Structure 1
């Protein structure tokens, strides 16, 4: 018998039982696991997206309105996961929009999902300006398998109807003789408001009242026949922002308790 055979058999036996000896250092293992694959050979990757509700904003610089949509991963297959990307497309003139997992968001956002993860809510914020017009904000959603393995889904589009209010000043109901109030839409980021008054719509306006950021109402008292025009300006970090239009107040003589006429006039 070859004298080396028992030595070789002893080394092989040590390896088969899960251990090895090399230079006095011992290594062992208890089990082995296959690495999880990064893709699948069959299955179905899909998702749904609800339709966001429409929004209304004032034709005021910085005025905002939010709406939401819900994404649901409906994929079918072994360990399927996907990355869903939402991107703001076209917007009406004078209107901008962002999307994100929370508002204000950015122009695009991606979320990673699986069929068993909770539905994902995205927030869309619409921002107005003094040139804003009504129309639609178009949102495009697309998806790719995660980790990237070449699977994609058809794009989904969602439309958010935007209504731009052209009269951000509003006359309040009169309840006291010779006294009537008007209100205005809050301006995003405003630190305060200034109300100015003039005897004519195109005349020189002077300050009649100033308010903090939470006050959006002004009270007018006229005890004799007169006509007054009022404008409102918001103080913001970007500078003064004028609420479009003017409000006309008129006290009519001998007209009982309804003697304060009020109307919004165009810019």
Structure 2
């Protein structure tokens, strides 16, 4: 969110005529005093570039326009390289790295931003190019950070993986990719099968809906919570003797008692009320 805050501050600040005039005076006066050398305006441009590089690389910003958003920041990559390389830490997630590595990654991004500003100053001889591109990169990084998917730590990822495996094992036996049903039917049946998921703290309804969508991507869900293209597989309740699931209402299972008629030598014979067979 740091890139978003800085980008917003730059945008709001430049919308004020007084601030805009002050920035223009700083740029042009600095260029006039420093000539073609590296001055305060180039330092500001390097700072903007450094902030943008911490959150999103130029390649990531380019792919943003193609609809591709990655969860890993450039600073995360730097932290993991330092942790696994020189430090030799056996970590698999950036959240497990020491906190001071974030400062090192910020320093690397800042030096890279200053280098970009210096190259633009040396190549074009004007600080305005470094400032304009740095501001644009910072704004793009802020937009990228807003749309970046939420990153999970290792414990959250393991918990979600366990929920997914439990749901897939249950869905393969209890759901069919046809018919229709209400989401509450699936939620009730799944939570009944796995008591540890009965509370919202253990598994929210939103997460369960996401599991259903991942298991059956072609399913449609109405605003009222009805699924089209997925339903519960009918089965007999061992305690109530009713058929549960399917598109119809629960119906009692046919009695397993013998028929009131039996046959003797192929001829049907009605049984008497007392239980004895009536002779023909």
TM category (shorter chain) comes to: under 0.3
Structure showing greater relative contact order (alpha-carbon pairs closer than 8 Å, 6 or more residues apart): 2
TM-score (norm 1): 0.22
Q: Which has the higher helix share?
A: 2
